[in-house]
A and B are shown apart, each in its own frame.
Chain A
Amino acid sequence: MFIIVVGGGKVGYYLTRELLTSGHEVVLLEKDPRRAAQIADEIGSVVLNRDGCEGRHLAAAGANRAAIVAAVTGDDEDNLVVCQMAKHHFDVPRTIARVNSPKNELLFRQLGVDEVINPTRMALGAIEQDIPVHDLLHLAQLSMGDMELVEAQIDSDSPAAGKAARDLALPEGCLLFVVIRGGIAQAVRADTTFQAGDKLVALSRTDCQDEVRHMLIGEHPATTTA
């Protein structure tokens, strides 16, 4: 597969190396001449010292035959423009943008970027998993961000504690499917009764997460701190 990577920072550098190792054809565009030369010394002649935001440089890199363009610079606006140019000007089938500001994640999807990667959110997710919080844990995003896999920790004061799955009227399109109790995962059935200490894995529509949190966990107690 022919892949163009824009941005030769740490992400771009390691991404390019990994892709080359797995046998892909890769061109890396890096606008800083020193950085470009440094990477070229290490991984060979796949580096072009060009600004990937410029249409003619994307063209020179072969954008019109690329299967994927991945824009992973440290600047959100550059990543957006690279992906939009790739998609609309060069008909690249799949575009991937790194976003650094979590606020841009949704906007970039709306503006047609196929895959949006948000390192900040990933780090936050990893941190949340290690700290008890009175909230839904975001495990993964599905179907272009419309659905999310979430985890809820049931406490003794949670509204779901002591209730059976069939008695919880979750919003349509949301599904409880696994309960983890004492380290053992089991499928949620209609008669599964939840108890304090359970971890519930659910599939939730992004737009009804407040409702899901409210039903499973309850409101944030004002004094809860990890």
Chain B
Amino acid sequence: MRTIIVGCGRVGAELAGTLSRAGHEVTVIDISSQAFNRLNGDFPGQAIRGDGTDEDVLRRLGAENADYFFALTEGDNRNALAAQLARDTLRIPHVIAKINDPVRAAAYRAMGLAVICRTTVMVDMLARFVGLPGDPRAGELAAQLPSTAEAR
């Protein structure tokens, strides 16, 4: 499996390690090379300094042949842009964007993008911790079909 991760923060770096130990061929992109300090010393994949929202940068890495694309920078909007570029222009089959603003996350989910929203996931876990029923869809990643996504 070929996997591209944009954004080498805590989540990006940790995911890069986990996936490469599982045999994925992982490329991590970040605009700051310092971010790569978060990677484990034995990370076998590629760490590339560059702008993951730039089509040319992604193509140079061979991103159009990737199986998975994770947009995990700290900017919701950068992630939304990178993920749509990956899905619509590079035609990568499995694309996920981290969008932490719940309103934006819901809107992009309704547009058919697969989105992970840390805010709703954490709130859901904490709500369950205090005994509330929680939201069964909080951790849902897969994009819904447009017909079922009309709820705004």
Residues on A close to B: CB < 8 A? 53-56, 75-78, 80-81, 84-85, 88-89, 101, 103-104, 107, 110-111
Contact = CB atoms under 8 A, between A and B. Distances in A.
A164 B21 CA distance: 67
Nearest to A57: B103
Given A84-B111, A89-B152, A110-B88, A54 B101 contact: yes
Contacts of A81: 76-77, 80-81, 104
B81 A76 contact: yes
Interface of B: 53-56, 75-78, 80-81, 84-85, 88-89, 101, 103-104, 106-108, 110-111, 152
Contacts of B106: 55
Given A77-B78, A88-B110, A54 B104 contact: yes
Contacts of A84: 80, 107-108, 111
A90 to B, nearest CB: 9
A80 B79 CA distance: 11
Contacts of B77: 53, 75, 77-78, 80-81
Given A77-B77, A110-B89, 19 more contacts: A55-B104, A56-B103, A76-B81, A77-B75, A77-B78, A77-B80, A80-B80, A80-B81, A80-B84, A81-B76, A84-B80, A84-B107, A85-B104, A103-B56, A107-B55, A107-B84, A107-B88, A111-B84, A111-B88
Given A89-B152, A111-B84, A53 B78 contact: no
A27 B88 CA distance: 32
A107 B85 CA distance: 7
A89 B107 contact: yes
B124 to A, nearest CB: 19
A84 B111 CA distance: 9
Contacts of B104: 53-55, 81, 85
Contacts of B78: 77
B101 A55 contact: yes
A101 B78 CA distance: 14
Contacts of A75: 77
B107 A77 contact: no
A88 to B, nearest CB: 5
A12 to B, nearest CB: 17
28 contacts: A53-B76, A53-B77, A54-B101, A54-B104, A55-B103, A55-B107, A77-B53, A77-B77, A77-B78, A77-B80, A77-B81, A78-B77, A80-B77, A80-B80, A80-B81, A81-B80, A81-B104, A84-B107, A84-B108, A84-B111, A85-B107, A88-B107, A88-B110, A89-B103, A89-B152, A103-B55, A110-B88, A111-B84
Contacts of A107: 55, 84-85, 88-89
5 smallest A-B Cβ distances: which pairs? Answer: A55-B103, A77-B77, A77-B81, A81-B77, A89-B107
A194 to B, nearest CB: 37
Contacts of B75: 77
